[in-house]
């Protein structure tokens, strides 16, 4: 490394030991968030940082934390640094990064998360861990047990704070913060700055310095080599469309992103019924289940991982050939984060999005944000699918012939050849193979939707509407799961619909509640509505969509009254039993 490269970090106030450590790891110049944050943390200022994933914020808080520990040898055997993160995967990732920065410094870095043996974590804490990287739930568990002692804590970091709140950790975070010394230094990082984040900062940070850093733009020619495609598909035909696109693409390994855990479970059932090897990954799963799924996926025993954004966060998967967006992501940044999982290390990757006709403008917004084109294609037809299958069969037959291992079936061909032409025999065998592959669903045509850059009614004004025959089919509209609802909504099989005789009022923010009981416990929509209206005193018209799975249920409620409803349901029984209730960790933001 040159002096200029070492001085890049040395000029921020880091000591020589740390500048050499980062140089040895190949870091040449600090990123903007590192350049802004490191001097502030070294000056012992509290920091409120807005920075997205991938901006280098782990080094931004880890290097100053290590410098404080290195300056005092006694701090290495006491927990003087605590980093809170939303998921197990991120805890492992951050812990590994800090361990690399701390090489040769004698600092123990311990990841602490649920799903791992707590006894082993307790033993390591008793021996002394200078820095603990933990998920909020397990950190609070250790604090209550007295195994995580925070009396000597000097620096606390909340990483991905918005994600932790979205996953329902607000109460845990408050409890942990209250258990730490008032003299601690605190850094809070979040990709967004909603009011609830600012509220935490106001209560727990001391005159924080604000740092706002956008994701650095990638230089021309450095973008991952990702082929980006979108299919415009009515909602009701999405499962069939995904199945057909999977047949056409034949991915070696892929992730399919969904918005909710119910969507994940439904899609896994559908795909596996069609002979695929799909596994679910969502926030309602225990850690041992998540570990088993990832082991199967990495070991090649599953080809498809059907996941929510929150559950897939922090996963490190190599050689991913495809990323599928079952729905258009709610934000362009989320789209970039999803498709960035393929096309790595110079390999080519493919990102495919299934968009409803109403979501076409969202695709254009993503194109504007990424400065990259998304090719809009029509779903492959039955004829194209058959042609693709013939190509695959032709290649398979060629491989078998070259391999020469056909003696066990040659007698059948020899017998038939005495009666029929050899070409007719081969054609019949190929046809039988195709009939065995195809399902009734795959042989149905999927309605083609011709996308328009901007519908005429949008150009004419907000109150104009397209003619009835040009609108989305009714069954597609009613099968859609709404993300927002208005007062006056009525609950039906597909969720709330606006009363036609009333003009829609401005939409309200909603929260999705997770109820730990479903069809197997005999739960019906009426049970949930009755419990909420009876115990929380809320009008049934204020409730949104109710979705009931085998072992859990999801209910949309007004966000402003979510905590009140949770408390009321926890204090009562539903169909004679106590059930866990909390904010859903996989709800779309």
- Domain-ending residue, one of 188, 213, 238: 213
Dist CA 132 CA 454 (whole Å): 52
Closest to 258 measured CA to CA, from 268, 249, 244: 268
Q: Which of the pair, 258 or 260, is modelled with greater confidence?
A: 258
Q: How confident is the model at residue 455 (pLDDT cuts 50, 70, 90)?
A: very low
pLDDT value at 68 more than 90? no
Per-residue pLDDT, averaged over 242-248, amounts to 89
Supply the range of the domain harboring residue 503.
481-583
Dist CA 64 CA 39 (whole Å): 8
Lowest mean pLDDT among 1-10, 372-381, 539-548: 1-10
User: Strand, coil or helix: what is 498?
Assistant: strand
Query: Helix %, strand %, coil % for the chain, to 5?
Result: 45, 15, 40
pTM score: 0.48
Average per-residue pLDDT for the chain: 78
Closest to 47 measured CA to CA, from 213, 210, 212, 214: 210
Does some domain include residue 305?
no
Q: How confident is the model at residue 567 (pLDDT cuts 50, 70, 90)?
A: confident
**CATH code: domain of residue 576:** 3.30.70.330
Question: Mean pLDDT highest for which of 125-134, 329-338, 450-459?
Answer: 125-134
pLDDT value at 76 more than 80? no
Per-residue pLDDT, averaged over 2-29, amounts to 73
Beta bridge partners of 232: 355
Residues 434, 560 within the same domain:
no
Dist CA 120 CA 110 (whole Å): 11
Pairing of strands 185-190, 155-158: parallel
Query: For the CA atoms of 467, 468, 471, 472, what is the dihedral angle to 10 degrees?
Result: 180
- Domain-ending residue, one of 213, 243, 273: 213
pLDDT value at 209 more than 90? yes
Dist CA 195 CA 202 (whole Å): 10
Does some domain include residue 244?
no
**CATH code: domain of residue 41:** 3.40.50.300
* Structure confidence at residue 311 (pLDDT): 67
DSSP 258-295: ESSHHHHHHHHHHHHHTT--EEEE-TTS-HHHHHHHHH
Per-residue pLDDT, averaged over 36-43, amounts to 94
Pairing of strands 546-548, 553-558: antiparallel
Q: At what angle do helices 382-403 and 238-249 cross, to 10 degrees?
A: 30
Q: Which of the pair, 193 or 183, is modelled with greater confidence?
A: 183
Q: How confident is the model at residue 314 (pLDDT cuts 50, 70, 90)?
A: low
Dist CA 447 CA 64 (whole Å): 57
Burial 390-429 (b: 16+ CB within 10 A, else e): eeebeeeeeeeeeeeeeeeeeeeeeeeeeeeeeeebeeee
Residues 189, 121 within the same domain:
yes
Does some domain include residue 285?
no
User: Strand, coil or helix: what is 231?
Assistant: strand
Q: Which of the pair, 562 or 433, is modelled with greater confidence?
A: 562
Q: How confident is the model at residue 527 (pLDDT cuts 50, 70, 90)?
A: confident
Q: How confident is the model at residue 464 (pLDDT cuts 50, 70, 90)?
A: very low
Residues 188, 79 within the same domain:
yes
* Structure confidence at residue 435 (pLDDT): 63
Dist CA 325 CA 336 (whole Å): 11
Residues 14, 64 within the same domain:
yes
Closest to 528 measured CA to CA, from 500, 560, 486, 557: 557
* Structure confidence at residue 256 (pLDDT): 93
Q: How confident is the model at residue 328 (pLDDT cuts 50, 70, 90)?
A: confident
Tokens 């032409």 -> residue: 421
Question: Mean pLDDT highest for which of 61-75, 255-269, 396-410, 472-486?
Answer: 255-269
Tokens 């990064």 -> residue: 97
pLDDT value at 98 more than 60? yes
Q: Which of the pair, 476 or 260, is modelled with greater confidence?
A: 260
* Structure confidence at residue 589 (pLDDT): 43
- Domain-ending residue, one of 415, 443, 471: 443
Q: Which of the pair, 183 or 456, is modelled with greater confidence?
A: 183
Q: How confident is the model at residue 80 (pLDDT cuts 50, 70, 90)?
A: very high
pLDDT value at 2 more than 70? no
Per-residue pLDDT, averaged over 566-573, amounts to 85
Dist CA 565 CA 297 (whole Å): 38
Q: Which of the pair, 216 or 253, is modelled with greater confidence?
A: 253
User: Strand, coil or helix: what is 20?
Assistant: helix
Q: How confident is the model at residue 183 (pLDDT cuts 50, 70, 90)?
A: very high
Lowest mean pLDDT among 36-40, 120-124, 247-251, 505-509: 505-509
pLDDT value at 217 more than 70? no
Does some domain include residue 259?
no
User: Strand, coil or helix: what is 331?
Assistant: coil
* Structure confidence at residue 528 (pLDDT): 87
Closest to 317 measured CA to CA, from 288, 344, 352, 286: 344
Does some domain include residue 60?
yes
Pairing of strands 81-84, 495-498: unpaired
Residues 417, 493 within the same domain:
no
pLDDT value at 467 more than 80? no
Residues 431, 578 within the same domain:
no
Lowest mean pLDDT among 7-21, 120-134, 329-343, 353-367: 329-343
Does some domain include residue 148?
yes
Residues 143, 195 within the same domain:
yes
The answer to whether 87 and 114 are in contact (CB under 8 A) is: no
Per-residue pLDDT, averaged over 534-538, amounts to 78
Residues shown for the chain: 589
Residues 496, 561 within the same domain:
yes
* Structure confidence at residue 351 (pLDDT): 92
* Structure confidence at residue 153 (pLDDT): 93
Residues 437, 571 within the same domain:
no
* Structure confidence at residue 326 (pLDDT): 93
* Structure confidence at residue 485 (pLDDT): 38
Residues 429, 488 within the same domain:
no
Tokens 């939707």 -> residue: 449
pLDDT value at 566 more than 60? yes
What share of the chain in percent tops pLDDT 70? 79
Q: How confident is the model at residue 436 (pLDDT cuts 50, 70, 90)?
A: low
Does some domain include residue 81?
yes
Beta bridge partners of 533: none
Closest to 242 measured CA to CA, from 302, 329, 304: 304
Residues 492, 426 within the same domain:
no
Does some domain include residue 450?
no
**In sequence order, which residues have a C-beta less than 8 Å from that of residue 337 and are 6 or more positions away?**
53, 54
User: Strand, coil or helix: what is 104?
Assistant: coil
Dist CA 144 CA 166 (whole Å): 23
Residues 74, 192 within the same domain:
yes
Strands, sheet with 375-377, edge to edge from the N-terminal-most edge strand: 278-281, 304-308, 254-258, 322-325, 348-355, 225-232, 375-377
How many domains would you assign to the chain? 3
pLDDT value at 497 more than 60? no
DSSP 144-201: HHT-S--TT--EEEE-SHHHHHHTT-HHHHHHHHHTS-TT-EEEEEESS--HHHHHHH
């Amino acid at each position: 490394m040159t002096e200029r490269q070492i001085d890049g970090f040395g000029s921020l106030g880091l000591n020589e030991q740390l500048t050499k450590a980062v140089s040895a790891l190949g870091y040449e110049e600090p990123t903007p968030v590192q350049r802004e944050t490191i001097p502030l943390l070294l000056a012992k200022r509290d920091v409120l940082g807005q920075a997205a994933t991938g901006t280098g914020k782990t080094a931004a808080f880890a290097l100053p934390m290590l410098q404080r520990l290195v300056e005092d040898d006694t701090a290495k055997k006491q927990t003087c640094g605590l980093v809170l993160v939303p998921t197990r995967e991120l805890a492992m990732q951050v812990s590994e990064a800090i361990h690399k920065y701390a090489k040769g410094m004698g600092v123990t870095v311990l990841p602490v998360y649920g799903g791992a043996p707590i006894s082993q974590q307790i033993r390591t804490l008793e021996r002394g861990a200078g820095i603990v990287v933990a998920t909020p739930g397990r950190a609070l568990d250790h604090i209550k047990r007295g195994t995580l002692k925070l009396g000597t804590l000097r620096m606390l970091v909340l990483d991905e704070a918005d994600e932790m709140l979205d996953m329902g950790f607000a109460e845990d975070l408050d409890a942990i913060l209250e258990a730490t010394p008032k003299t601690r230094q605190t850094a809070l990082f979040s990709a967004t700055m909603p009011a609830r984040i600012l509220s935490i900062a106001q209560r727990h940070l001391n005159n924080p310095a604000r740092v706002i850093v956008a994701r650095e733009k990638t230089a021309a020619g450095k973008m991952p080599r990702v082929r980006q495609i979108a299919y415009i598909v009515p909602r009701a035909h999405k499962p069939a469309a995904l199945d057909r696109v999977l047949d056409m693409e034949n991915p070696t390994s892929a992730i399919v992103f969904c918005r909710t855990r119910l969507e994940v479970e439904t899609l896994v059932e559908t795909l596996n019924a069609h002979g695929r090897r799909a596994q679910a990954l969502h926030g309602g799963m225990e850690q041992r289940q998540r570990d088993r799924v990832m082991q199967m996926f990495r070991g090649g025993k599953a080809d498809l991982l059907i996941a929510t954004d929150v559950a897939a966060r922090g996963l490190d998967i190599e050689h991913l050939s495809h990323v599928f967006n079952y729905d258009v992501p709610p934000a362009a940044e989320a789209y970039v984060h999803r498709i960035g999982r393929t096309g790595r290390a110079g390999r080519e990757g493919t990102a495919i999005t299934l968009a409803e006709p109403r979501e076409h403008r969202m695709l254009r917004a993503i194109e504007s944000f990424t400065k990259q084109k998304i090719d809009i294609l029509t779903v492959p037809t039955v004829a194209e699918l058959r042609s693709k299958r013939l190509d695959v069969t032709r290649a398979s037959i060629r491989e078998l012939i070259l391999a020469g291992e056909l003696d066990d079936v040659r007698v059948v061909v020899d017998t038939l050849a005495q009666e029929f032409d050899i070409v007719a025999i081969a054609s019949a065998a190929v046809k039988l193979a195709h009939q065995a592959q195809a399902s009734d669903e795959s042989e149905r045509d999927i309605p083609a939707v011709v996308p328009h850059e901007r519908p005429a009614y949008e150009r004419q004004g907000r109150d104009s509407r397209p003619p009835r025959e040009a609108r989305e089919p009714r069954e597609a509209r009613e099968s859609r799961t709404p993300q927002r609802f208005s007062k006056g909504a009525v609950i039906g099989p597909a969720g709330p619909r606006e009363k036609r005789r009333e003009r829609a009022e401005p939409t309200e923010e909603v929260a999705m509640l997770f109820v730990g009981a479903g069809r197997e416990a005999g739960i019906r929509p009426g049970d949930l509505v009755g419990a909420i209206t009876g115990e929380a005193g809320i009008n049934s018209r204020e409730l949104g969509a109710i979705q009931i799975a085998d072992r859990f249920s999801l209910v949309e409620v007004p966000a402003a009254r979510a905590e009140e409803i949770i408390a009321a349901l926890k204090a009562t029984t539903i169909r004679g039993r106590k059930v866990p209730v909390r904010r859903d960790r996989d709800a779309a933001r």
